[in-house]
């Protein structure tokens, strides 16, 4: 009798593992803030990137271990607020935006507010049903991607001798406009590609793995060229994803009307 009662009160430690990973990401975001305040820009960016990688892992691990919970979802949102809202905003402010004083601080607040709204909107959408088409698209730019994109000016600055044509574009004023645009795109309803439900044909899996391996090599050897290039490619896909969404929505509605 007692053994049966106790079994209902015990929780396998594997069920808590995704929360441990989320806390690791939270610590990464806090560490980024620490390096920001000491003006160690590269390390601050690296820890935000680590937080983004961890954010992509914890949810999937939770689903694999069948340990998803409301507590884990709320903890993940809090970590995302710090890692992709406060950390990149403070980093850009202390790196360059403080040169425009009040306007720079206003941009910090706008970014944090936008990320907060996006996360709140995302939490609400978890309890609502998605159409088949919506599963392939995000509404706006996801918070981790938004954080990486917002850091494009500072990453370009790390390799100014290789990316001089881009680095000269990101002066203080243009950086401010760019940061504001990325922040607003996070709460927009513009459809952007989601990789969650994208499948690779089996006969092309080896090619896909090979390209991914090449990307890892470039990422390790030339991160401050690879990440800006990837960010620019992602920005270029936004109008493509929006166009495809409109096209598939039109076809879907046409089929419904025929039926």
Supply the CATH number for residue 80's domain.
1.20.120.1760
pTM: 0.87
- Provide CB contacts within 8 A for 253, sequence distance 6+: none
Residue 184 lies in a domain: yes
The whole domain housing 125 covers 11-253
Q: Is residue 101 scored above 70 in pLDDT?
A: yes
Residue 72 lies in a domain: yes
- How long a stretch of residues is the chain? 259
**Phi, psi angle pair for 129, to nearest 5°:** -80, 140
Residue 6 lies in a domain: no
What pLDDT is attached to residue 1?
47
- Provide CB contacts within 8 A for 227, sequence distance 6+: 49, 148, 155, 219
**CA angle, residues 173, 174, 176, in degrees to nearest 5:** 65
What pLDDT is attached to residue 11?
67
User: What SS3 state is found at 117?
Assistant: helix
Residue 144 lies in a domain: yes
Rounded Cα–Cα distance for residues 47 and 148 (Å): 11
Residue 4 lies in a domain: no
Rounded Cα–Cα distance for residues 248 and 98 (Å): 44
Residue 66 lies in a domain: yes
Domains contained in the chain, number: 1
The structure tokens listed for 249 are 């929505």
What pLDDT is attached to residue 213?
92
Which residue has tokens 């025929």? 258
Residue 259 lies in a domain: no
Helix (H) or strand (E) run with residue 137 in it: strand 137-139
Q: Is residue 55 scored above 80 in pLDDT?
A: yes
What pLDDT is attached to residue 168?
67
Residue 2 lies in a domain: no
Paired residues of 138 in beta bridges: 192
Which residue has tokens 């046409």? 254
């Amino acid at each position: 009798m007692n053994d049966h009662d106790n079994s209902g009160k015990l929780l396998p430690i594997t069920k808590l593992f995704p929360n441990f990973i989320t806390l690791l990401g939270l610590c990464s975001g806090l560490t980024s803030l620490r390096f920001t305040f000491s003006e160690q820009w590269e390390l601050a960016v690296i820890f935000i990137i680590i937080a983004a990688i961890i954010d992509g892992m914890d949810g999937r691990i939770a689903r694999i271990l069948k340990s998803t919970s409301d507590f884990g979802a709320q903890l993940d949102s809090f970590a995302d607020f710090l890692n992709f809202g406060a950390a990149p905003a403070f980093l850009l402010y202390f790196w360059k935006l403080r040169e425009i004083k009040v306007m720079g601080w206003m941009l910090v607040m706008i970014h944090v507010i936008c990320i907060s709204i996006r996360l709140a909107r995302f939490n609400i959408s978890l309890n609502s049903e998605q159409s088949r088409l919506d599963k392939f698209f995000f509404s706006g730019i996801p918070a981790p991607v938004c954080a990486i994109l917002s850091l494009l000016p500072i990453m370009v600055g790390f390799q100014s001798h290789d990316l001089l044509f881009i680095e000269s574009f990101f002066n203080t004023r243009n950086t401010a406009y760019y940061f504001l645009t990325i922040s607003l795109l996070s709460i927009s309803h513009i459809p952007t590609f989601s990789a969650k439900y994208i499948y690779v044909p089996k006969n092309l899996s080896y090619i896909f793995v090979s390209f991914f391996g090449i990307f890892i090599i470039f990422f390790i050897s030339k991160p401050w060229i690879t990440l800006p290039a990837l960010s620019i490619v992602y920005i270029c896909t936004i109008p493509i994803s929006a166009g495809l969404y409109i096209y598939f929505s039109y076809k879907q509605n046409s089929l419904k009307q025929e039926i």
